[in-house]
Chains A and B, each alone.
Chain A
């Protein structure tokens, strides 16, 4: 399984290296010198990392689809479970590394002194990222599980289009949830129109219950993606 994750990391090493280095630099700058609004900066930096990882994940999924990586991996002497875990874990592992950088920089700068308790937004983002990544894999598995769909040819463009649209939608939803905090511009703009929703939404991403809900959703979809991979009717793509 680690062979597969390592291979994926090696395959995308340029994008990963660029991502991690630039993120580290940005985090140091923000947490080290431009520290003004702790809550905003922490959730903002987490969001920047999230978007960057999501971009890498989308590129990777498109590449996997067009290069028929599943087909290549399916003839290797690796069990389906391990292959499934490896393919679904890659993005969370990358996110984990990013969070590690995030945390180390946070602890190494003066920002640590004014951290307002646990960063529930970051936990929410983690759950959301795992859920979104798993969702796309499940969607692909289901398409390949439908009898006859493969024969007629599942169009690559169709998949890529749906994935890009889906990702944008998910980012918008999460970004929307994030920016609906009382006092923010969007809250001032939209709050009066939907008086009850914004408060609940803010609670959802930044509260322990919301964070755990996202985490549970991510875990559930992660497990489901393992199951759907096992039950594909075809690994030809």
Chain B
């Protein structure tokens, strides 16, 4: 089966920033969280995939088809919701949806109405009069009503207040959990994606880092607390962070069996392991930068 998308040697250069080269693929049906700090190149990656920005090098394939601007059939398979929600501002939400529906044979009016109802989107209101939350909802309805096989979500809830953000995400996830589409979800707020993602991919300063299944991360990472009565902390493998209070130490390990084995060979006492949440792990990976991310 063809990959949902495949990037080969993708490079995009700006005067003060360079993304890539990126070699990346997404298997059908997988939800991949694309995590990175602000300015790391997440949005640029999305723009290159959708063709909104022309890359300087490399290729993009969507379900086996080259993402060619003159042969745009591949766009039927891609739904993109970015941080900017662009509409015909003086048309109503319904008018905008009607406009979009002409271009997608897979469009379902019934699904659009269902989604609008579920999102409580006021269809009779002009786009320019919609609140930020409703603009996000309109973008989502416009994309989900045509059931794309690949969904690219680029911080779609950026700029929303926490209540609206939660409301939008809850509904979105309910809709998506029952679906079969591949999702590439870029964010720097992990809680937005941790529930939905099968895998996480880290991006730092334009370069891809660690890619791992969510379960693998939660299995491998531990907080390890222990006491060392004399001497300093020995050199331990896979440690990303260390805190000390007197004789008490706490370390964050990205491969706890390995760290534990090395620790047990020292004079450490009262060793306790604590599971880490995916949010904590992500923070550690991002803080560790390229060193940890490229392990």
Contact = CB atoms under 8 A, between A and B. Distances in A.
B72 A78 contact: yes
Given A68-B86, A151-B16, A236-B53, 19 more contacts: A11-B88, A67-B87, A67-B88, A69-B88, A72-B87, A72-B88, A74-B52, A75-B80, A77-B73, A77-B75, A77-B103, A78-B103, A80-B70, A230-B69, A232-B54, A233-B53, A234-B53, A234-B54, A235-B52
Contacts of A79: 69-72
B195 interface: no
Interface of A: 3, 7, 11, 67-69, 71-72, 74-81, 147-148, 151, 230, 232-236
B158 to A, nearest CB: 15
Interface in B73-114: 73-76, 78, 80, 84, 86-91, 99-100, 102-104
Interface of B: 13-16, 47, 50-54, 69-76, 78, 80, 84, 86-91, 99-100, 102-104
Contacts of B16: 151
B100 to A, nearest CB: 8
A69 B91 CA distance: 13
A215 B54 CA distance: 33
Nearest to B68: A79
Given A148-B14, A235-B52, A76 B103 contact: yes
B70 A11 contact: no
Contacts of B78: 75
B53 A71 contact: no
B107 to A, nearest CB: 11
20 contacts: A3-B102, A67-B89, A69-B86, A71-B52, A72-B88, A74-B52, A75-B52, A75-B78, A76-B100, A76-B103, A77-B72, A77-B74, A77-B76, A80-B70, A147-B14, A233-B54, A235-B51, A235-B52, A235-B53, A236-B53
